[in-house]
A = this chain, B = another copy of it.
Amino acid sequence: MPGYPALPEGIAYGGDYYPEQWPREVQEEDVRLMREAGVTLVSLGIFAWVLLEPAEGRYEFGWLDEIIDRLHAAGIAVDLGTPTATPPPWFSRKYPDSVPVTREGVRIGLGSRESACSSHPAFLAATSALVTRLADRYGDHPAVVMWHVHNEYGAPLGECYCAASVTAWRDWLRLAHESLDALNDAWGTPFWGQRYGDWDEIDAPRWSHTVVNPAQRLDYARFSNDAHLAHYRLQRDLLRGTRKPVTTNFAGTVNCKSMDLWRWAPELDVIANDHYLDGERRDNHIHLAMSADLSRSLAGGGPWMIMEHSTGAVSWQPRGIAKRPGEMRRNSLAHVARGSDAVMFFQWRASRFGAEKFHSAMVPHAGTDSQIWRDVVALGSDLRELAEVRGSRVAAEVAIVWDWESYWALELEWRPSGDLAFLDRISAFYETLWRTHVTTDFVHPSADISGYRVVVAPSSYLLTEASAKNLQRYVESGGNLVVSYFSGIVNEHDTVHPGAHPGVLRDLLGLSIEEFHPLREHETVTLSGGATARVWSERVRLTGARSVQTFTTGPDAGHPAATVNELGAGTAWYLATAPLDGLRDLLTPILDRAAVSRPHDLPDTLEYVQRGRHVFLINHADVAASVPGVTGTDVLARTPFNGEVPAGAVTVVRLS
């Protein structure tokens, strides 16, 4: 696997490890148990700043030396963290204005994490000083195989509104906009009389009693992303000299709205994702798959790492729902199926104190005489069997358009409906594809998408002219594009494209929208195909496309609800509402037309993913599933595959 050759063989296995929370005798037991479980990699030092630098410029590395050596002696590799997510109390005391401020003007309290602003000069200086020391001291240590910078940038600290941020923001604006005139144009400052005559007149878009300029907010989201990214790059560059791969763990590719991960991905040597199930949802494995597919997409289709997931309860949700029997195994192998070359947990051993003491772990409070521990050991064994999977790739014929800038813009205030929600539409299409056993990539709208048979753009509210042209070229060259409502509406500065909606997609889709007709709360409409839909209706006027389905009730009864436009060698489909059901019926003919390959006759609760020459079959149902047409070796059982996956089980078939 390119990018992190120093990693242990096979699928890396382990988790976050906090020896600093435990006495030496427990640390010794930890290493023994890690070996028992087959752990090959642990993340160290993530929050340990004050333990490494207990006073400004005074360092104590002894304890870390000791544990790294102990792990090394046991053959366990180290993913060494930089602890910048938790600046020490002495730092906050010395630089009180480094503590972040919310949009409402509240300076946050200490005793938590993410308590320094990424734009504060003193924080940047202190970061440099410490990371330089870490690189010097551990860069050559044979156990240290990779660097883990910071922790979950963007969660919980996305935007900061402190004075240092405002200064950095003005600098950012000067670079992002050619001139103040250009900024005024981009932000539409003639509206509500906001024209700026001096850069220093521009403040952060703080909370106000009514809506603040959305273009200003969109730029602030970009700036905030870039401020964190700059903090990451500062460290990455200091660590480069060690010639070991550098990463940072994403706070959930799907969940961390505040970071534009398309901008982060090229800066990482390996993509690392943290994923936690939404405990309340019974179908949360589909969300997991989406997060994994987005991780892989950020990794350019190659391997990546699930850096944190859980063996059971998550501490920060309303209820810490435990995993069902077999669920941890299904989850872990689903990540591997979708390209992860690692299975890492938060965390190795459950803490006895602090905010997350009720978060699950590989070693739970109940100790090793527990189902979780037995499952952890068994999983280690499974992963050894799967070593051959490492490095192989997942091929997808379908892609979904995902753009954080569109996500940010769509969910600002005063959109045509508060029910418009980025993830809602993405998820609806993703889930339908998942249940159809189609593996999906995610793509930025400006990316090269020529290789996909079908591209779906469910929520592309913000779409630049260039990206729209990219989509158009794709269709003209034979691609099949599916667009959903309220896409192609604004440019990169949240300015409505000229003319009727959907400005930059009119020609491509062969239609225009005369008027939006958002539905009332709980209101539904029906479609001629029989589906019920919610949230949205609109008056579609055909200018080349033909109607595939019409609305049969509601404000647009008798008018098109779904259309197709044949353009060049391809087709461009449009769906003007949010079906509660029936999305599969709409997509199937498109997949068929595009000859998207996928297995048939499988239950829609069976997850089917091919990675390299291995097919992963994950049965989320309570009954066994027949899988006709797949022949090969059941890798985990070391037997020929018998065509059936037991209830709740995972089977990995090496195709013959």
Q: What residues of chain A have their CB less than 8 Å away from a CB belonging to chain B? A: 18, 20-21, 47-51, 54-55, 83, 86, 88-90, 92-93, 100, 102-115, 156-157, 187-198, 200-216, 279-280, 312-313, 315-316, 318-322, 324, 350-358, 364-367, 370-372, 413-419, 493-496, 498-501, 512-521, 539, 555
Q: A319-B417, A371-B515, A494-B353 are in contact. Are A88 and B47 (CB under 8 A)?
A: no
- Is A414 within 8 A of B356, CB to CB? yes
Q: A352-B496, A366-B512 are in contact. Are A358 and B414 (CB under 8 A)?
A: yes
- Is A367 within 8 A of B499, CB to CB? yes
Residues of B contacting A55 in the complex (Cβ-Cβ under 8 angstroms): 197
Once bound together, how far apart are the Cα atoms of A641 and B515, in whole Å?
Answer: 34
Given pairs A109-B208, A110-B212, A191-B355, 9 additional interface contacts (CB within 8 A): A55-B197, A89-B198, A214-B354, A312-B515, A316-B414, A318-B417, A318-B418, A319-B418, A358-B414
Distance (whole angstroms) from the CB of A108 to the closest CB of chain B? 4
Residues of B contacting A215 in the complex (Cβ-Cβ under 8 angstroms): 353
Residues of B contacting A513 in the complex (Cβ-Cβ under 8 angstroms): 366
- Is B83 within 8 A of A353, CB to CB? no
- Is A51 within 8 A of B515, CB to CB? no
Residues of B contacting A90 in the complex (Cβ-Cβ under 8 angstroms): 197-198, 201
Once bound together, how far apart are the Cα atoms of A54 and B214, in whole Å?
Answer: 22
Q: A356-B191, A370-B515, A414-B358 are in contact. Are A521 and B106 (CB under 8 A)?
A: no
Distance (whole angstroms) from the CB of A346 to the closest CB of chain B? 13
Q: A112-B209, A320-B518, A515-B371 are in contact. Are A496 and B355 (CB under 8 A)?
A: no
Tell me what chain A mostly uses at the interface: helix, strand, loop, or mixed. Answer: loop
Residues of B contacting A501 in the complex (Cβ-Cβ under 8 angstroms): 365-366
Once bound together, how far apart are the Cα atoms of A159 and B310, in whole Å?
Answer: 35
Once bound together, how far apart are the Cα atoms of A514 and B363, in whole Å?
Answer: 11
Residues of B contacting A106 in the complex (Cβ-Cβ under 8 angstroms): 104-105, 207
Residues of B contacting A213 in the complex (Cβ-Cβ under 8 angstroms): 111-112, 354-355
Rank and list the top 5 A-B pairs by shortest CB-CB distance, nearest first.
Answer: A188-B353, A191-B354, A109-B206, A86-B193, A89-B201
Q: Which of B210, B315, B351 contacts A188 (CB 8 A)?
A: B351
Q: Which of B187, B495, B520 contacts A280 (CB 8 A)?
A: B520
Q: Which of B54, B191, B205, B415 contacts A351 (CB 8 A)?
A: B191
Report 20 cross-chain contacts, Cβ distance below 8 Å, ordered by A residue. Answer: A50-B193, A50-B197, A51-B195, A89-B198, A90-B201, A108-B209, A109-B203, A110-B194, A110-B212, A111-B203, A111-B205, A111-B208, A191-B355, A211-B355, A319-B418, A319-B518, A355-B414, A358-B416, A364-B515, A371-B514
Question: Nearest residue in B to A22 (C-beta to C-beta)?
Answer: B190
Residues of B contacting A417 in the complex (Cβ-Cβ under 8 angstroms): 318-320
Residues of B contacting A214 in the complex (Cβ-Cβ under 8 angstroms): 354-355
